[in-house]
Structure 1
Amino acid sequence: MLSTIKIYTTDLELGMFVSGLDRSWLDTPFAVQGFRLESHAQIEQLQDYCQYVLVDTLKSYQPEQALQSKLRNTRRRLPAERIFQGRDLRIYRDDSDFFQEQPLAEAALESLVDDLLDVYDKVSHGGNIDQIQLKRSVEPLIGSISRNPDACLWVARLKQHDEYSYHKALAVAIWSVSLGRELGLPRRDLRSLAMGGMLMDIGKLRVPTAVLRAERPLTGEEKKRVREHVVHGRQILAESGIHNQDVVDMIAYHHERFDGSGYPTGLKRDAIPAVARIAGIVDTYSALTSDRSYARAQSPSRAIRTLYEMRDVKFQAELVEAFIKAVGVYPAGSLVELSSGEVGVVVAESRTRRLRPKVMMLLDSEKRRLGEPRMVDLGLNPAGNDQQPPLVIRKSLQPGAYDIDLAAIELPAN
């Protein structure tokens, strides 16, 4: 009989005795090394901090057989070299900090959004994509993310364009390149990920606008019309003379799913090109974190948890886990409440202590607006001493909590 078993936090139930975490106890607000789950609030808090925990079968109120049924049949993890065979992977290091990179990221994205609008405008009027212009346009973005992705991730979350499809195209490109950087893909592949991200939904320009913006359940025929955007996208690429296989694969297969439940062809697992598996993850994350006609946006951290729950079902686990490493457990733009009761927004993650990002404080412990926002790096253990524990994130908040408008926020001077 096993006395301790590993259980994912999504499978926790009342009565289980948690004896270990997937991280240091010091990185969490839990005061003791071992406790029995007696409320759903405890489970939700564990889910905010951990992907899995260790459960003591002898101290739990449930029999071991019932606990064993919670164990997932997880396959052996593959290294990135196996997933991206034939590609010269490398290790990226931060060559600038957030405040150094932020103005460069702003400039790169301002220029890129203008070119992106031009691409969509030309295609919507029957023209073709200028791939030379597009390749040139994405270079500053790739350079910024290669040096330090935090600034671009911050801008992607806060800069909301009036037209959802344009904002989504830009955000998907940023998240795709950030994930590619985490995986160690070479610069030429990052360029392909950026182009594929921006063009992923270009085929929707040939789908009736009334169908795309319908605020009601779509009919079977209308769903078919929406799904045809994949075919339209491939046609637009072909008409524009774009034959980059990674870009084509991202457009063609970003709605395929690891378990074969996707479209247009129901591909499974390794039959889905690796870059398309990346595209599916970032496309879904973008949808989850955006307000659409039929659904309210989830908080970034809730969307991360949703993706994690889909690992090895809808999406390949290794790539989901790499995405979480790339954007953080609390991605940039996440509204969070700290253990002090103060409220802030996550600006950048810590590469080594992912539960301790940089946070811009906006509200005091009484939820009153601060006269001047201030930056706090939770990775430096602020306020930690013998009398007072370190400041930590207590919970994530829904977008718009306490009437906080992220688009109106300005960074304080460094």
Structure 2
Amino acid sequence: MLKKISVKRLKVGLHIYLKDIPWFKHPFFRSNFKIKSNNEIYDIQGIGCEYVYYDAALSSAEPLIEDSTSNVPKTSGEQSTKIKKERSIALRKRKEAFIKTEKKFIASAEKADQIMQGILKGQISFCEEAEQMANEFADFFLSDAETTLNLINLSSSDDTALYYHSLNVAILSCMLGSELGIDAVDMRNLSLGALMHDIGKSKIPKKVLYKSGSKTKAELELIKMHTFYGVEILSTLKDVHRDVMKAIYHHHVINGKGSYPSSVDYNSKSVIAKIVTVVNVYDNLINNRDVNKSLTPHKALAYMYKVYSGMFDNNVLGHFIRMLGVYPPGSICELDSGEIAMVVSIGENPLLPEVVLCDLNVPKNEAMIIKLGTDIDSKVERVLAPKDLTADQLKYLSPKTKIGYYAEVKDKPKE
């Protein structure tokens, strides 16, 4: 419960809320935090407000009994405001770059859509475009550049779901292939196989593919045919590598119940097909057509480790889990400060990802992407499920229904 308090009674250890003060009018990156120094008290008093709110449960101290008679330094807030302004510029640039990345993902998904439609019509030029697109992904991950994996929040319909899914699987497969150290030839075959792995679903009637509720046995058997249809479609094109075909035909082959096609021996699978299998399952878990059945990225990895260990290649699965880190993009977390945040990017330190803070006092379109441990001195305390959030918090952090991933070259610090 929040209590109103005079700024003259503030003390180090109080967890305060700047509820009635616009974000751009105070020198802090957050509108609620625990006071750690007298300078922060001076900065708050220097804003010119008469009161703030504090949360006794999150505080490690009690307010002063009487108003402090100390004079506030004349320069209070000025230096902090200057620092905030400088850092805000950098944060704004980071957000602008993030928006550009989101646009690149959507453009790539639209291109994948056009390519698949062209291939279905038997137009050879689109096969060449598919190889070019796949090679671009492969070459990106074959380069020595350090990459960061970014979250893309998407609104998705049945018509776009297939292409978003194919793009997700291609990007994550190439990233995993890089982690496993596969060579250039395998990387290019992996990229194309992952991008085209579900093209056979285009031959399944939509009323069957997107049927709500339980499917009949006959409908399930028809959907399983998409691996065969995928190979059949690409067989009409020239020079498609055998390993690409195997990735498409084998991506539902596992070492256990539910494997198909049943005629394929699990031990005959190539590492390329094993990679696509792992990534395909992960993306289906986090992007279930029924949003209520989608798992959070964190829970999806835990589920895969628990359920699929032994059914997948454990080396491939282990590398995939380590690659996405402790807090995969899309994870909703509670910080040690008590704040709620969503992970949007993982980089060098998987324990200190980049996040968007859920601060309802800051307009959503002005919310910055914050680096934990750098921009603010906080770390992740625990991972939350969407049900742990209020409706307003959930809307603020993740208003869309699908998760996409896109990789970019990591910014190097200026020397």
Under TM normalisation by the shorter chain, which class is it? 0.5 to 0.7
Aligned to 1:360: 356
- Aligned residues with identical type, % of pairs: 24
1:345: Cα distance to partner? 1.6
Is 1:236–2:233 an aligned residue pair? yes
Whole-angstrom distance in 2 between the partners of 1:115 and 1:336: 34
How do residues 10-409 of structure 1 correspond to structure 2 at under 5 angstroms?
105-106=101-102, 108-125=104-121, 127=123, 130-145=126-141, 146=143, 147-151=145-149, 153-155=150-152, 158-162=153-157, 163-259=160-256, 261-265=258-262, 267=264, 269-293=266-290, 296-351=293-348, 353-363=349-359, 368-371=360-363, 372-378=366-372, 382-383=376-377, 391-398=379-386, 402-404=394-396, 406=398
When the two structures are aligned, how many residues end up with a matched partner? Answer: 300
Aligned to 2:73: none
Gaps of 5+ in 2: 1-93, 404-410
Whole-angstrom distance in 2 between the partners of 1:108 and 1:131: 21
Per the normalisation by structure 2, the TM-score is: 0.64
1:112 is aligned with what amino acid?
S
1:381: Cα distance to partner? 9.9
Contact 1:149–1:178, Cα closer than 8 Å, also in 2: no
Whole-angstrom distance in 2 between the partners of 1:323 and 1:123: 30
Contact 1:131–1:242, Cα closer than 8 Å, also in 2: no
Structure (1 or 2) with the larger CA radius of gyration = 2
Whole-angstrom distance in 2 between the partners of 1:100 and 1:120: 30
Contact 2:342–2:397, Cα closer than 8 Å, also in 1: no
1:121: Cα distance to partner? 2.0
Contact 2:115–2:127, Cα closer than 8 Å, also in 1: no
CA-based RMSD: 3.2
Whole-angstrom distance in 1 between the partners of 2:100 and 2:140: 7
Whole-angstrom distance in 2 between the partners of 1:128 and 1:203: 17
Change (3 A) 1:128 1:232: farther
Q: What's the secondary structure of 1:216's corresponding residue?
A: coil
Contact 2:344–2:355, Cα closer than 8 Å, also in 1: yes
1:338: Cα distance to partner? 1.4
Whole-angstrom distance in 1 between the partners of 2:369 and 2:215: 45
Contact 1:359–1:376, Cα closer than 8 Å, also in 2: yes
Whole-angstrom distance in 1 between the partners of 2:183 and 2:201: 30
Can you list the C-alpha shifts for 1:8-32, whole angstroms capped at 9, x where unaligned?
xxxxxxxxxxxxxxxxxxxxxxxxx
2:340 is aligned with what amino acid?
V
Change (3 A) 1:110 1:138: farther
Contact 2:194–2:276, Cα closer than 8 Å, also in 1: yes
Whole-angstrom distance in 1 between the partners of 2:286 and 2:329: 12
Whole-angstrom distance in 1 between the partners of 2:137 and 2:128: 15
Per the normalisation by structure 1, the TM-score is: 0.64
1:355: Cα distance to partner? 2.9
Change (3 A) 1:107 1:403: closer
Change (3 A) 1:160 1:181: farther
2:323 is aligned with what amino acid?
A
Contact 2:341–2:397, Cα closer than 8 Å, also in 1: no
* Range that drifts further, 274-283 or 260-269: 260-269
Whole-angstrom distance in 1 between the partners of 2:97 and 2:274: 29
Change (3 A) 1:266 1:101: farther
Contact 1:301–1:330, Cα closer than 8 Å, also in 2: yes
Contact 1:206–1:232, Cα closer than 8 Å, also in 2: yes
After superposing on structure 2, the runs of 4+ consecutive aligned residues of structure 1 that deviate more than 6 Å are 98-101
Q: What's the secondary structure of 2:342's corresponding residue?
A: strand
1:184: Cα distance to partner? 1.7
Contact 1:196–1:248, Cα closer than 8 Å, also in 2: yes
Which structure ranks higher in relative contact order (CA pairs < 8 Å, sequence separation ≥ 6)?
2
1:202: Cα distance to partner? 0.5
Whole-angstrom distance in 1 between the partners of 2:192 and 2:156: 19
Change (3 A) 1:129 1:176: farther
1:283: Cα distance to partner? 0.7
2:252 is aligned with what amino acid?
H
Gaps of 5+ in 1: 1-97, 384-389
Aligned to 2:5: none
1:120 is aligned with what amino acid?
M
